[in-house]
Structure 1
Amino acid sequence: MTATDTLHRPLHDLRISVTDRCNFRCRYCMPAEDFGPGHNFLPRSEILSFEEIVRVARVATGVGVRKLRLTGGEPLLRRGIEDLVAMLSTLDGIEEIALTTNGTLLAHHAEALALAGLARVTVSLDALDPLVFGHMNGVGARVERVLAGIEAARTFGLGVKVNSVIQRGVNESEILPLARWAREQQLTLRFIEFMDVGETNHWNSAQVIDAQEILSIIGREFPLDPLPPTHAGETARRWGFADRRGEIGIIASVSQPFCRGCTRLRLSADGQLFTCLFASHGHDLRPQLRGRADDSVLHSALLGLWQSRDDRYSEQRGQVHAPKAEMSYLGG
């Protein structure tokens, strides 16, 4: 069966955070002043085991989940991540397993991930300029490592998309260089409006470069044609280059909310289920997972949670003031 919520949205996607740790300190997600050397990350005992993750995913297929995405933190920091992919790839009903990464460890893992059954990766790349990139990632990481990871993923047959978060006064100068590069590389590029996820990124609407402005900047050099959605619930609005050499997309959660098409459920690394990226709290599955509850109890929990879901934060932005969970904890 496919569960639907109070706004008749079906459950289709499960995003699974495998760790709350990351080797970047991007200011829009995990700023160093809040996630410094003394920050208390989740203890190992609280993080779900691979077996627990697989059990949740298996039960979730019974309420409609067909696609899985592994996130973090940085998921490639989780030891044995390829083993988890292999375990998930055996589940009946799962059509695709994807992974979101900052790309710095991807060159090392790409072959094993592909062999394990991973279908595609989404790589975060907010700038090509080394200085801008180093400033944005907060640790001075080199953009060459990310580009090498992308190349390795393509070499081993993984589908690749690239995501770029754009902030005014930070990296708007990178919009055109990224578009040129993606077109030359024949890669799918998604620009993301700077969002107010969590409480530590000091979000200010003045820093949002909206979809129309991004399109205008790219359109100065490349004519663009709108493309139809590839599937229901797609988050990005898509445009193709007029010469048919690739496409770009924009995820416009701020200026053009798409809450009414959201089909995503999120599982945090410590077993909390969240029905919205902007939620303040989740539903703790660990008592069932680590107690004696059978799968029917888990099934009922997932079904009831989704059927009662009424989240539409982006449509109500400015009207909701509850503290929000951090993106590095939820997995984006």
Structure 2
Amino acid sequence: MDEVDSGREGSAVTAVPIGLSDPRVREPAPADMPAHGPLVDRFGRVHRDLRVSLTDRCSLRCTYCMPEQGNEWLAKQSILTLDEIERVARIAAAQGISTFRLTGGEPLLRRDIVQIVERLAALETPDGPVQIAMTTNAIGLDKVLPALVDAGLGRLNISIDTVDRERFRDLTRRDRLHDVVAGIQAAAASRLRPLKFNAVAMRGVNDDELVELVQFALDNDAQMRFIEQMPLDAGHTWSRESMVTREEILERLSERWDLEPVPGRGGAPAESWRLAGTGSTVGVIASVTAPFCGACDRLRLTADGQLRNCLFSNREFDLVPLLRGSGTDDDLEQLLRGCIWRKLPGHAINDPGFLQPDRGMNAIGG
């Protein structure tokens, strides 16, 4: 497994251009923005969840995410260091961010992943300790999971779109299903619960495997969650016709189980249903056909230090000049607040004027 160093020295790869018109926001904070108190936007949504992307690199090349070759990676020196990540997280925690989810690319490619978990797990919010979660493809997880748990990892999501080896190889362009299964087995044997598996439902790819994926999750004491395919591929090839909808997913699962809605979703991205006779649940994240923007409490930090207040945003808020210049913690807090205050009411995927973000999912962070 290739690993990503966290330092600034090394490769002189050119940084990926963000766009012809630079969307990184450096303007003054809005005059009506609260300077203190909860991290709230104009629509009253209090933010408690920060997704921290550790790298844009990945050990797989999933067809719905990135090309097999020709990827322009972020320059090594642009990737936030351990100390920089900790500083941003400490400031966010002090303002009420209580969950930090480590993403990528593939977060396990960071050589300092255990140290990152350890540092972040030691943070406190005004109401108590933070929770550290991770989303991973599980390649190499079996080797590092005990250290991650000891460091303070509390929750784990594993991406697994198919359990068929040939289909996995075609979909990810890598013959690594055995490595993923080894990671899943380690996770199932750990004390991390709830354990969740994520699968992107794709027409003509794995839509005939939905029941089998749920059973695979049940066999590993995990919850299966299906995700509607979203317009976040680096090649901008997404089409609504190829997307398997929430209703189609539920229809397929209903052929095998009676489904009972689970109330009390709150700000969670997944709706959940109980599977009759199993004592377990299945989730669906329907960002396209059933958006949950009204309860969204999340924001994202990219691996190169850009804050994003929505997964589908075309604007970014650049922390790097403050982190690597003379910016104070108060400066960083105000930029964080300004990012959240400017958040729009929704992602507008279903609007005719919707524009797909320039960055692919691997560069934004899951």
Same fold by TM (over 0.5)? yes
1:155-234 matches, within 5 Å, as 155-159=189-193, 160-230=195-265, 232-234=266-268
Tell me how far apart the structure 1 counterparts of residues 351 and 184 of structure 2 sit (CA, whole Å). 35
Distance 1:114 1:202 in 2: 38
Mapping 1:95-174, distance limit 5 Å: 95-141=130-176, 143-159=177-193, 160-174=195-209
Whole-angstrom distance in 2 between the partners of 1:31 and 1:269: 19
Deviation at 1:6, TM superposition (A): 1.7
Q: What does the per-residue CA deviation read over 1:85-118, in whole Å, with 9 as the maximum and x for residues that have no partner?
A: 0011111124310011011111111111001000
1:14 aligns with 2:50: yes
Aligned ranges 1:299-310 → 2 under 5 Å: 299-310=333-344
Amino acid at match of 1:267: L
Partner of 2:101: 69
Instruction: Give, in whole Å, the separation in 2 of the partners of 1:22 and 1:317.
Output: 31
What root-mean-square deviation, in Å, do the aligned CA atoms of Structure 1 and Structure 2 show?
1.5
Unpaired stretches in structure 2, ≥5 consecutive residues: 1-36
Letter in 2 for 1:48: L
Shift, 1:309, TM fit: 1.4
2:133/2:156 contact within 8 Å kept: yes
Residue 193 and residue 288 in structure 1: after superposition, are their counterparts in 2 closer, same or farther (change >3 A)? same
Change (3 A) 1:317 1:162: farther
Write 1 or 2 for the structure with the bigger share of helix: 1
Alignment partner of 1:203: what SS?
coil
Q: What SS is found at the alignment partner of 2:185?
A: helix
Q: Is the 8 A contact 1:2 1:62 kept in 2?
A: no
Q: Which amino acid aligns with 1:65?
A: I
Residue 23 of structure 1: aligned partner: 59
Please list every run of 5 or more consecutive structure 1 residues that lacks an aligned counterpart in the other structure: none
Structure 1 position 82 matched with structure 2 position 118: no
Paired residues in the alignment total: 326
Question: Does the CA-based 8 Å contact 2:94-2:124 persist in structure 1?
Answer: no
Asked whether 1:259 is paired with 2:293, we answer yes
The alignment partner of 1:15 has SS state of strand
Cα pair 2:214 2:282 within 8 Å, conserved: yes
Seen in structure 2, the aligned counterparts of structure 1 residues 63 and 308 have a Cα distance that, compared at 3 Å, is farther
Q: Deviations over 1:114-156 (max 9, x none)?
A: 0100001110000011111111112222x22212211212323
Give distance in 2, aligned partners of 1:325 and 1:119: 29
CA shift, 1:39, in A, is: 3.0
1:246 pairs with 255, 280, 299, which one?
Answer: 280
Q: Output one character per residue of 1:65-94: Cα deviation in whole Å (capped at 9) or x when no partner.
A: 110000010000011200110011111124
Q: State the AA in 2 paired with 1:277.
A: L
AA in 1 matched with 2:202: Q
State the 1:325 CA deviation: 2.0
Q: Structure 2 vs 1, CA of residues 311 and 78 (structure 1 numbering), >3 Å: closer, same or farther?
A: farther
TM-score under structure 1 normalisation? 0.94
Cα distance in 1, alignment partners of residues 300 and 319 from structure 2: 12
Contact kept, 8 Å, 2:227 with 2:284, in 1: the verdict is yes
- 1:22 counterpart SS class: coil
The CA distance in 2 between the partners of 1:198 and 1:170, in whole Å, is 16
Which has the larger displacement, 163-172 or 273-282? 273-282
8 A Cα contact 1:47 1:270, kept in partner: yes
